[in-house]
Amino acid sequence: MDKPTDRIEFETMLLGRHLTRPRRGVGHLDASAYALLSRLCIDGPMSVGELSDAFILDTSTISRQSTAMLNSGLVERIPDPDGGMARKFRITAEGRQRLDAERAGNVAGLDRVMADWEPDDVAAFAAMLERFNLDIERRAGRPWPRMRES
């Protein structure tokens, strides 16, 4: 580990492991449902093709994941609001409630982990992490939408 980027690579691997480990208990969303619901919450209704493009996954994978969410009442199929032929998936009230609860649990966990950090350090870490992700997205030419507080 000669360079800082060696450490960053290793630490981001560990971060991914920490963030994607299965949760115990009833009602927790799996990682794919969390990501898909987050995207639908930001962008609104999306078709299988649009989701496939957004996540860079095969349509068969998105179909399987969206069907599981449909069967769980997290999303519903609707006609394309813009009049297109493809039906779209829209987050349901139940899906939004579960997403909000999952996100609140994640934030509470981060608050516990960072409880001894100075507020300025937490804000700086958030800004650097956002910058890191934005640079990845810019290089890939695939920006990810973000929710902004109003």
As given in the structure block, the two tokens for residue 45 are 């209704």
> What confidence tier does 56 reach under pLDDT thresholds 50, 70, 90?
very high
Query: Distance between CA atoms of 38 and 99, rounded to whole angstroms?
Result: 7
Query: Distance between CA atoms of 5 and 51, rounded to whole angstroms?
Result: 31
How confident is the model at residue 17, as a pLDDT?
A: 83
> What confidence tier does 135 reach under pLDDT thresholds 50, 70, 90?
very high
As a 3-state breakdown, the chain gives helix, strand, coil percent values, each rounded to 5, of: 65, 5, 30
- pLDDT exceeds cutoff 80 at 140: yes
Q: Which residues of the chain form beta strands (DSSP E)?
A: 75-78, 88-91
Query: Distance between CA atoms of 113 and 88, rounded to whole angstroms?
Result: 38
Span 4-42, pLDDT tens digits:
999 999 999 898 888 766 666 667 898 899 999 999 999
Q: Which residues of 29-102 form beta strands (DSSP E)?
A: 75-78, 88-91
Query: Distance between CA atoms of 46 and 37, rounded to whole angstroms?
Result: 11
As given in the structure block, the two tokens for residue 76 are 């519903």
Query: What residue has token string 């998105």?
Result: 62
Phi-psi region of 26 (alpha: psi -120 to 50; beta: other; left: phi over 0): beta
What is the phi/psi pair of residue 80, to 5°? -60, 120
How confident is the model at residue 83, as a pLDDT?
A: 81
Span 59-104, pLDDT tens digits:
999 999 999 999 999 999 999 888 888 899 999 999 999 999 999 9
- pLDDT exceeds cutoff 90 at 148: no
Query: Distance between CA atoms of 34 and 41, rounded to whole angstroms?
Result: 10
Go through the domains of the chain in sequence order and give each one's CATH number.
29-115 (1.10.10.10)
